[in-house]
């Protein structure tokens, strides 16, 4: 739990605790709905431009012959990502949050009502591009994946330990650019595992289609 500066820090901690509890209860309700229809959901998070949409496109290509996939695209504005996913031949639903920096369980519940869950095996959710905020807002997903990329530089994990503590699955994208960015992917992996020892970290390149099979398999294992 984060602490806030100021005299009423204790009250603020309590309010934040209550809000997080509310979110967890709402997320649990989403999970019950998904489980009733035997639908699996994966929440894909990460900063703007790390490659979330590109990763979903690649995963859809790999899995769509075996799974009936639906994608929910969260973004502040535009339907660009929905169109990109739609071009892969699966249904995509856009949520535009305006100024909100994350999706939440209630908004996703609204989408679940529109999706034909009886005809769906897997929902991939692209959360709003933001490294920090979405982590505190569970959606009821069976897996949460953080996508980072080497173009964010070598310190992203070390500078955000609270975020990576929460993440069981992390993809390091754009490994094709590691040399030019002067980023040591091995060191990034060590940083992430130094924060969370059981983190499952997958170096990938959506551009070169590298590492995506292992990641897709891991995400669907035992759910
Ligand atoms: N070089 C390289 N570029 C990538 C890779 N993955 C995505 N990109 C590019 O990064 C930019 C942002 O990707 P996008 O999927 O829109 O990121 P998002 O904002 O996280 O959804 C696009 O120009 C992609 O073509 C990769 O593995 N290597
Ligand atoms: Mg995107």
Q: Which pLDDT band, with edges at 50, 70 and 90, does 13 fall under?
A: confident
Ligand 1 atom nearest to 47, measured from its CA: 20
6 pLDDT tier (thresholds 50, 70, 90)? low
CA of 57 to the centre of ligand 2 (A): 10
- Which numbered atom of ligand 1 lies nearest the CA of 50? 20
Q: Are 79 and 92 contacting, i.e. CB atoms less than 8 angstroms apart? A: no
Would residue 66 count as lying in a domain? Answer: yes
CA–CA dist 104, 124 (Å, integer): 15
Which residue is closest in CA terms to ligand 1's atom 13?
51
Q: pLDDT tens for residues 77-119? A: 999 999 999 999 999 999 999 999 999 999 999 999 999 999 9
Give the Å distance between the CA of 13 and the centre of ligand 2: 33
When divided into structural domains, the chain yields a total of 1
CA atoms of 146 and 157, how far apart (whole Å): 11
The answer to whether residue 3 sits within a structural domain is no
> Any idea how long the chain is?
223
- What is the span of the domain harbouring residue 60? 9-220
81 C-alpha vs ligand 2 centroid, how far in Å? 5
Please compute the mean of the pLDDT values over residues 202-222 and round it to a whole number: 96
As a dihedral over the C-alpha atoms of residue 162, residue 165, residue 169, residue 174, rounded to 10 degrees, the angle is 50
Return the number of other C-beta atoms located less than 10 Å from residue 86's C-beta. Answer: 16
What's residue 9's pLDDT? 65
pTM for the model: 0.93
- Structure tokens given for 64: 């769509």
Q: Does the residue 43 lie in any domain?
A: yes
> Tokens 């292992």 appear where?
214
Residue 189 domain-assigned?
yes
pLDDT value, residue 42: 98
| Ligand (nearest to CA of 178) | 1
Residue 2 lies in a domain: no
The pLDDT-based confidence of 136 (bands split at 50, 70, 90) is: very high
The first and second tokens of residue 85, run together, are 């996913």
CATH number at residue 148: 3.40.50.300
Mutate to test the pocket of ligand 1, among 48, 49, 175, 204 (most ligand atoms within 8 A of CB): 49
Report d(CA 145, CA 52) in Å as an integer: 10
| Predicted local distance difference test score (pLDDT) of residue 17 | 77
pLDDT digits (tens, 9 = 90+) for 169-210: 999 999 999 999 999 999 999 999 999 999 999 999 999 999
Q: Is 1 among the domain residues?
A: no
CA of 85 to the centre of ligand 2 (A): 10
Residue 59, token pair as written in the block:
């995963």
Residue reference for tokens 């992996």: 189
Query: The tokens of 98 are what?
Result: 């305006």
Mutation pick for ligand 1 pocket among 43, 45, 51, 149 (CB with most ligand atoms within 8 Å):
51
- The residue that leads in pLDDT, 139 or 9, is 139
């Amino acid at each position: 739990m984060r602490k806030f500066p100021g005299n009423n820090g204790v009250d603020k901690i309590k309010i934040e605790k209550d809000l997080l509890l509310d979110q967890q209860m709402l997320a649990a309700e989403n999970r019950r709905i998904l489980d009733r229809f035997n639908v699996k959901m994966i929440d894909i998070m990460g900063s703007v431009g790390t490659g979330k949409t590109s990763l979903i496109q690649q995963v859809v290509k790999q899995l769509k012959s075996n799974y009936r996939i639906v994608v929910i695209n969260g973004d502040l504005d535009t339907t660009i990502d929905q169109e990109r996913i739609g071009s892969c031949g699966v249904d995509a639903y856009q949520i535009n949050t305006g100024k909100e920096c994350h999706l939440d369980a209630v908004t996703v519940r609204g989408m679940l009502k529109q999706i034909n869950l009886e005809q769906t095996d897997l929902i991939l959710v692209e959360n709003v591009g933001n490294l920090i905020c979405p982590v505190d807002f569970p959606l009821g997903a069976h897996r949460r994946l953080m996508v980072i990329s080497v173009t964010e530089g070598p310190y992203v994990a070390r500078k955000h330990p609270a975020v990576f503590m929460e993440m069981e699955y992390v993809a390091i994208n754009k490994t094709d650019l590691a040399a030019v960015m002067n980023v040591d992917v091995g060191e990034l992996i060590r940083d992430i595992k130094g924060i969370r020892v059981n983190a499952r970290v997958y170096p990938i390149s959506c551009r070169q289609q590298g590492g995506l099979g292992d990641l897709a398999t891991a995400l669907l294992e035992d759910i």
